Chains A and B, each alone.
Chain A
Amino acid sequence: MEHWQVWIYIAVVLLPLASFTIQILGMRILGNKNAYVATATIATCFGLSAFGLFNYITTGPGITAFTGLHAHHDDHGTSGAAPHGSAGHDDHAPGGHSADTHAPAAEHKDADKHDSHKDAVKHDTHKDAEKHVEKPKGEGGGSSEGSDTAAGHGGKLVWKSEYIWTALGSSLGKPLTLSLGVYVDLLAALMFAMVSFIAMLVHIYAMEYMHGDPRYPRFFAYLSLFCFSMFGLIASPSIFMIFIFWELVGVCSYFLIGFWFEDINNAKAALKAFVTNRVGDVGMLIGLGIIWSYFGTFSIADINNALSVSRIRDNDTRITRAVAGDDITVSILAPANAKGDASETVTKTIPYLMLTIAGLGIFAGCAGKSAQIPLHVWLPDAMAGPTPVSALIHAATMVAAGVYLVGRFYALFTAEALLYIAYTGGLTMIVAATIALVQTDYKKVLAYSTISQLGMMMLGLGALGYAAGLFHLITHAFFKALLFLSAGSIYHSVHTYEMPKLGGLLKKMPVTGYCMLAATMAISGVPLLSGFYSKDAILAATMRFSAETGHYPIFFFAAVGSALTAFYMFRMWFLVFDGTSRSAHLEHETHHTHAHDDHGHGHGHHGDPVAHAHESAPKMSWPLIALTVPTIAVGYPISILPFGEPVLEQMIHYSAPVATVDLSDWHFKAMMVSFVVASLGIGGSALFYSRFKIFSPEPYARRFSLLYNLFVNKWYFDKIYSIIFVKPAMALANNISRFDKLVVDGLVTGASNLTHMASQASGLFDRTVVDGMVNSLANLIMNTGEKSRQLQTGKLRQYLAVLAVGVVGLFGWLYIWIQS
């Protein structure tokens, strides 16, 4: 291996798979010890990932690269260096003075911007990072370990390696290959660290939360499988491999949503999640098909490189038809192949329309996974799974994979595709937030808030805020995991998800309460917590985008969505932790009205759930505390003060596949907006739901009953889908089945009946006509015989003479016939 670090990440991906295999095969022997196997594995993964991240920063750009106060690293884009050549930059101006001969991207229009920090960023430690080395891959069949290439786009450090999975078409020239591999840049390294950290805490938490479940060992086996799939997804160098792991995380999600499958509703939720995701996956397959047809490769980095040339991009760094034309011709690296031929740059042409469709197709997959409108309907139902699963899969990691992919494949999206992404994200953000406003189930509030925040990430990405969207992905992962785990902690104690039964829990569960408060503040955008910085970045991006392009709804979505988020999140926190228990009052008024619905997991309770509440055991509370640290601090700039671009954002910026726009002028304005909307949201929430409760929400619900009903019914998405998709599909299936029986098979049966009738008729014909003729012939002969009786002389000699004449005649005729 060119880089031994690749092995770290191969190990991180494969260890959970090994752990899963051990747990599944050894379940009878290991039993509950599975939990330790799984947890030890994921802890190892976290250790390796953390080390990998540290190693990347120290051997790569160096930490000083991310501490500069200048926020806008436009030159981090790849508009410069090509994968080939250009050995040894010693500053961060990629390609500026490197001799690019094969360059897919030789121009870079923003060369004027990157002089500001030449001094700040050194990476002469890694002179060989740019060497693009293709090693022979062994002989046909692709069964050997592939090449290790050191540098990816823009001369930035990339650890990668690939294995040729299939190579076909060798009789028709160089075989076309599909490969699997590992591709770790800084973004991937950050994701590895984030996912493994949260996964580790969730494992520990689940050891307590799932304790006593009859399928406890299986739960941890599933978790391990999920970790494998998620790590594989992050590490994927190609969109094809992403698709593979995309489905695998989907199936893990399926099993975990339906973990308590005895309740058929959970099973149905699992099915809904999988099928809805598959709808998105069809889009992704379409995107794959187009990419494969036009580029002949699935490599994300190569396609990003090819499409990041500024020649086809406008001043906003977007690919537009005006600049790029109807047909886009780019130079792209042909994929390596099994025969050991060196990679070569080829020229490919793709129509602008097809590129847009490919982008939208890939985004459809992302929309499925990241629960964007119109494919968001599965995520609230997915809360049927155990809460640790909701925290890990359906809040922090898997659902963010869609956002991650949009970021990873950022160069693919044309201006129209990005605009579509922005509007989808914005709408999703608002719609989900309005639904969250009226939920009474606190886990559902969190679910809709997840959808809403994912929408916000997409909004940021679509509004050209590459780093902003992905930055929010990471901060959100931490505080949303914390929120869910806190919710699990509450449920574990009170066995209900219904907020109207709760209240005043802060005294009983202080650790959970304060941890959740930190997360609630973070998601609401309270200054000095991580969410503030990432939301600020997104607001800045949308503000700039709206101002530059005139798409004002984009900013409106972000601002209003943020205010709503602050409102409903604090509503939830107030309702659960503030004031006093409402069940106690309720209890007083109506005695034992009904048992609580416990979603198949608890023991039915009577009375006040709050009264028996208690703080959770250390295995559950410590992960909460551990998550509080990044919830607060992960977004800090070097000075903690809200000035300058946060370190994490700069790191993400560093991995940008394209040149990105400059947001520095907008940060301050965005900060103001952010502050205002957060205050409005939190203040409004306090007025309605805190212990002070100056206003009562009910009259407003009545006054705006139209909207209220719309929100409570989740904008009728499920009902509409049932009417226009599910039922017609089932009806079509039933009709086809009937058609098959009546028409298609009917034709066969009809044909056979027809044949039967024909045979009957022919039988009749045979008896009457044919046989009749025979019979009449026989009669004729009989009559003739009667008459010719006189010929019979009874003399043998005469008979023999006749026979001899006959035979001779016959042979004579035969002879003549053969001769002719």
Chain B
Amino acid sequence: MMSDAQLLTALWLVPFIGSLSVLLVPKGSEKLIKWIALGFCLATFGLTLVAFTSYLNGSDEGLPPIASSLSDRVLNNVIRTSAVDGSDYDSIELNGAGRDGRKDLVVRMPWIPSFNIQYYLGLDGISLSLVVLAGIVAVLSCLASFPIEKSVKGYYSLFLLLCASMIGVFLALDLFLFYVFFEVMLLPMYFLIGIWGGENREYAAIKFLLYTLFGSVFILVAILILYFWPGDHTALVSQMNPNTQTVERVAYTAHTFDIVKLTQAATTTDFYGRSIQTVIFALFLVGFCVKLPSFPFHTWLPDAHVQAPTPISMILAGILLKIGGYGMIRMAWPLAPGGAQELSYLVALVAVVSILYGALAAMAQTDFKKLVAYSSVSHMGYVTLGMAAMSLANEPRIYSYGVNGAMFMMIAHGITSTGMFFLVGVIYERAHTRDLNKFGGLFATMPVYAGVSFLIFFGSMGLPGLCGFVAEVFVVLAAFNFNKLLGVLAAAAVILTAGYVLWTLQRVFLGKPAGAADDHGHGHGHDDSHGHSGSYPDLDQREVIIAIPLVILTVALGVLPTPFLLSWMSPSVDETVKAVLSAKTVVDGKKTTASLNFPINNPTPLETVKR
């Protein structure tokens, strides 16, 4: 068995090595490159599964990682510091991370000690679910890349670099490291869109790059505020160490990029006051809203998607957008819970606007790919809404449904949107058009393709029994408890979603096969004179292999969400929920808010969080 250090490092290093080794393949052997790249993707996916099984089972000794929260597991990997303020590394103790063989899926080493920057990776249910998803999507999009013939070597090298960095983003527990992975990710993406994209690719690539950089500036500022926040250096810190039962009087200072430590500082102390948390939260929010993307920061997405080649769209929608949501659940909320609560109504409003706006904009599109892109904006709104629905009044457990719904939406959307972009790519490859009005009747001529499409699109629409439903219903239920009006609006969006999804399916699959003469109207048009449309070949073997896992996951997550995902993901989510809701700033804020407006039925059951 691999140690944690080896395993977690390998997760991002393997595709990175792949990216380099592809470059070493001699010219003229394109086919070899494809298979090598696929091999590296499969190896990465295999590693994510290894991580998954270690997360569930652990090693022989001790509890498996799933049994304890990330903040507890981190304690096995303490880097002992001499100075109280943690700025000085005299001696280093690594009693986890492969030294004693104990599996806690955390690795921690000093990287740039003078700034207290660590090489700090870790997995919990939240990041693990996304890492596994990234592994799957990487394999599938690598398979979907096979038809690409333009400078294959460069393509796969950048592709694997992209995979490496996006997995690194989910692994990093150090904000600096996170930021490095986050920025590294932009480069391959820029080139992949800018070189292998459609006719307007340079524009889309530049827009993507600049827009994301614009967003990341906000994230950087938030990180720097967290790091440099002077605060009261002798502030009392209660329970910084979750293993101690008593309140410790420990001086605390920031000057760290350690996410876990910062989370504890932000949630259990008032080191970061409510007002600075509001600033931090707003900065994070803008940064991650760009990435998510959420209205009004979404306009790079349709362009990027339309111009990107199919497999890159799959990765973009399947994984890259999730980094926005991941940042919210890992950083924005836990690192600034008071700010999150302060702005929760605003955020929820933005989320609902995003949902409705994205759905309406999708309905108006005639470009198949653009439509799917806008549907992503709409669906990602549920992520924000689920996070924002911090119930003030009734039932904190319902907030857990909201955040779990948000996470579930990320996974579900990761699966369905990957599928949808793949399916759009399939038909684009055959028809060389994405104009919805030029299709029709494909149900008859491409039954397998049609069957897969109906399933995946229905999954995205939130049909019960398929994955999107679980997410939507969780979020809507939580939203109801948060604010009735927003809940109603979010619920009403299901009409629009049904409208654009079904209308799209109708235009592509139903009716008579569209001919050049038949102008997509009443079904009495005669058979096409050109004969090129409606007679495309059905999915080939490679495409079926891509479709099968997506179909299986769409159904499996929808029918049995608990065994397949929630059982191992939700404990971590619930930890975060608890941390956020029990944060000092939130509880204090709730009291003041409550005394002003809201009668609380069961007075703050979260006040006592002592273990």
List residues of A whose CB falls within 8 A of some B CB: 24, 140-143, 164-176, 240, 243-245, 247-248, 251, 254, 258, 261-265, 267-268, 270-271, 274-275, 278-279, 281-282, 285-286, 288-290, 292-293, 296, 729-730, 732-734, 736-737, 740, 744-745, 747-748, 752
Contacts and interface: CB of A to CB of B under 8 A. Distances in A.
Contact of B476 (A245, A262, A274, A289): A289
Nearest to A176: B397
Given A171-B574, A737-B361, A143 B491 contact: no
Contact of B566 (A141, A278, A745): A141
B190 interface: no
A688 B487 CA distance: 54
A289 B511 contact: no
A141 B574 contact: no
Main secondary structure on A side of the interface with B: helix
Contacts of B364: 730, 733-734, 736-737
Interface string B463-476: 11100011001101
Contacts of A748: 207, 211, 299-300
Interface stretch (B156-164, B218-226, B495-503): B495-503
B480 A261 contact: no
Given A279-B495, A282-B492, A286-B488, A264 B566 contact: no
Contacts of A270: 502, 510
Interface stretch (B275-283, B329-337, B538-546, B575-583): B575-583
B464 A243 contact: yes
A44 B451 CA distance: 28
Contacts of B361: 733, 736-737, 740
Interface string B437-477: 00011011000000100000010000111000110011011
Nearest to A243: B464
A242 to B, nearest CB: 10
Interface stretch (B237-245, B264-272, B398-406): B398-406
B365 interface: yes
Given A165-B561, A247-B464, A264-B522, A172 B605 contact: yes
Contact of B394 (A142, A271, A293): A293
Given A168-B570, A261-B510, A173 B397 contact: yes
Nearest to B400: A169
Contacts of A736: 357, 360-361, 364
A525 to B, nearest CB: 38
Contacts of A737: 360-361, 364-365
22 contacts: A166-B561, A168-B401, A168-B404, A168-B566, A168-B570, A168-B574, A170-B570, A172-B605, A174-B397, A245-B464, A247-B463, A251-B463, A261-B509, A264-B511, A265-B522, A270-B502, A270-B510, A282-B494, A289-B477, A732-B360, A744-B295, A747-B296
A247 B463 CA distance: 7
Q: Which size class do B's interface residues fall under?
A: 35 or more
Contacts of B605: 172-173
Contact of B495 (A271, A275, A733, A744): A275
Given A171-B574, A736-B361, A293 B480 contact: yes
A285 B357 contact: no
B512 interface: yes
B119 to A, nearest CB: 30
B571 interface: yes
A264 B512 contact: yes
A164 B444 CA distance: 40
Given A142-B562, A168-B397, A168-B400, A264 B464 contact: no
Interface in B339-388: 357, 360-361, 363-365
Main secondary structure on B side of the interface with A: helix
A326 to B, nearest CB: 15
B512 A292 contact: no
Lowest 5 CB-CB distances: which A-B pairs, in order? A289-B480, A169-B397, A141-B567, A264-B523, A737-B364
A243 B397 CA distance: 22
B506 A267 contact: yes
Contact of B502 (A171, A274, A292): A274
Contacts, number: 192
A290 B394 CA distance: 12
B465 A271 contact: no
B577 A744 contact: no
Given A172-B581, A282-B488, A296-B395, 12 more contacts: A167-B562, A171-B400, A172-B606, A248-B463, A261-B441, A264-B521, A270-B510, A285-B473, A285-B491, A732-B360, A733-B360, A752-B210
Contacts of A168: 397, 400-401, 404, 474, 566, 570, 573-574
A770 B573 CA distance: 55
Contact of A166 (B360, B398, B444, B562): B562
B396 interface: yes
Contacts of A268: 506
Contacts of B26: none
Contacts of A169: 396-401, 574, 577
B307 interface: no
B288 to A, nearest CB: 18
Contacts of A747: 296
A171 B577 contact: yes
A268 B499 CA distance: 11
B603 to A, nearest CB: 14
A730 to B, nearest CB: 7
Nearest to B567: A141
B196 to A, nearest CB: 23
Interface in B298-348: 298-300
Contact of B487 (A142, A143, A289, A296): A289
Interface in B524-579: 561-563, 566-567, 570-571, 573-575, 577-578
Interface centre among B440, B470, B512, B562 (most CB of A within 10 A): B562
B127 interface: no
Nearest to B296: A744
B84 to A, nearest CB: 27
Nearest to B512: A262
Contacts of A296: 395
Nearest to A166: B562
A248 B512 CA distance: 26
Nearest to B525: A264
Given A167-B562, A278-B498, A292-B477, A265 B523 contact: yes
A153 to B, nearest CB: 25
Nearest to A245: B464
Contacts of A258: 510
A270 B498 CA distance: 12
Contacts of A292: 398, 477, 480-481
A472 B296 CA distance: 53
Nearest to A734: B364
A268 B578 CA distance: 47
A262 B365 contact: no
A752 B404 CA distance: 38
A171 B578 contact: yes
Given A143-B562, A262-B441, A286 B397 contact: no
Contacts of B491: 282, 285-286, 289
Contacts of A263: 511, 523
A243 B578 CA distance: 30
B400 A278 contact: no
Contacts of A274: 498, 502
Nearest to B574: A171
Contacts of A140: 567
A355 to B, nearest CB: 14
A329 to B, nearest CB: 12
A262 B511 contact: yes
Contacts of B469: 244, 247
A172 B396 CA distance: 7
A143 B563 contact: yes
Nearest to B470: A166
A170 B396 CA distance: 11
A170 B571 contact: yes
Contacts of B394: 293
